[in-house]
Amino acid sequence: MKKCFIVICIAALFATGCQTSAPTPEPPGYIPEPPEILADLTKDMYDGLEFSVNVLERNAILPGMSFLATVVVENKGSDSLYYTKGSGSFTTPESLFLFSDSLQTVQPRDHLGIVTMDFVTNELEPGDSLMFKLPVMAIAPNPDFNTYTFELFGEETYIADMEWSDLQDRFPDLKAAAPGSYTIKAYFLYNIAKIENDVSNAFDGPSGYAEAECVISVS
């Protein structure tokens, strides 16, 4: 069973940087850096956590096309874990995200628009599991992609729902990924739940992370 801890705060919610990918065999002009937050965290700190990412597409992934990466988090150990959900209106927790230096990850739909200003930390107890489907696009990393995502959402359009031809007409600097194999990585940030001097560490922030990856083909 999952528990959540809520604090009312006036903190600005910010969007994670997203990117796109180049259309031809030429290297993209923008290659994103791996998330800096990982430098201060311990990989695989909790060995009871099973974490995976897979793309279960029935159809071929074409250049410019959007698709979903399925991420599964399972607590098979004996300790509870805390992870940051962020706004209580989010479905996708802030502590879970995708990264690729060659394909474009997309801001989850539930992180866009108006959100509540509460701050929620959830508990993943032994035996609990989570599953989320996160959007990715077969286009090359572009530093303005996140701006385009919010611009379109203001017009009641989710960028991952657009046809590639329409998206390219609107933003000509976006480039389709060339056919080939690409790696997508998923990250889950967490803290092992503890109580010291009758005080929980639920709001201490993450101290560890899990990493998983999968390889997809663009045809």
Q: pLDDT, tens digit, for every residue of 111-152?
A: 998 888 888 999 999 999 999 999 999 999 999 999 999 999
Instruction: Convert the pLDDT of each residue in 195-209 to its tens digit.
Output: 988 899 989 999 999
Instruction: Convert the pLDDT of each residue in 88-122 to its tens digit.
Output: 889 999 999 999 999 999 999 999 988 888 889 99
Chain-wide mean pLDDT for the chain?
87
With 0-12 / 13-18 / 19 or more C-beta atoms within 10 angstroms meaning exposed / middle / buried, residue 77 is middle
Q: Would the pLDDT of 178 be above 60? A: yes
pTM: 0.85
At 99, list the tokens: 């990264």
Task: Give percent above pLDDT 90 in the chain.
Answer: 73
What is the residue-wise DSSP string for the chain?
--EEEEEE------PPP---B-SSSSPPS--PPPPGGGGGSEET--TTEEEEEE---SSPBPTT-EEEEEEEEEE-SSS-EEEEEESTT-SS-TTEEEE-SSSEE---GGGSS----EEEEEEE-TT-EEEEEEEEESBB--TTHHHHHHHHHTTT--GGGS-HHHHHHH-TT--BPPSEEEEEEEEEEEEE--EETTEE-TTS---EEEEEEEEEEE-
- Segment 7-25 mean pLDDT: 39
Instruction: Convert the pLDDT of each residue in 23-79 to its tens digit.
Output: 333 344 577 888 888 999 999 999 999 999 999 877 799 999 999 999 999 999 999
With 0-12 / 13-18 / 19 or more C-beta atoms within 10 angstroms meaning exposed / middle / buried, residue 108 is buried
Whole-number pLDDT of residue 8: 44
Domains of the chain: 3-218 (2.60.40.10)
CB 97 within 8 A of CB 90: no
Rounded Cα gap, residues 103 and 22, in angstroms = 8
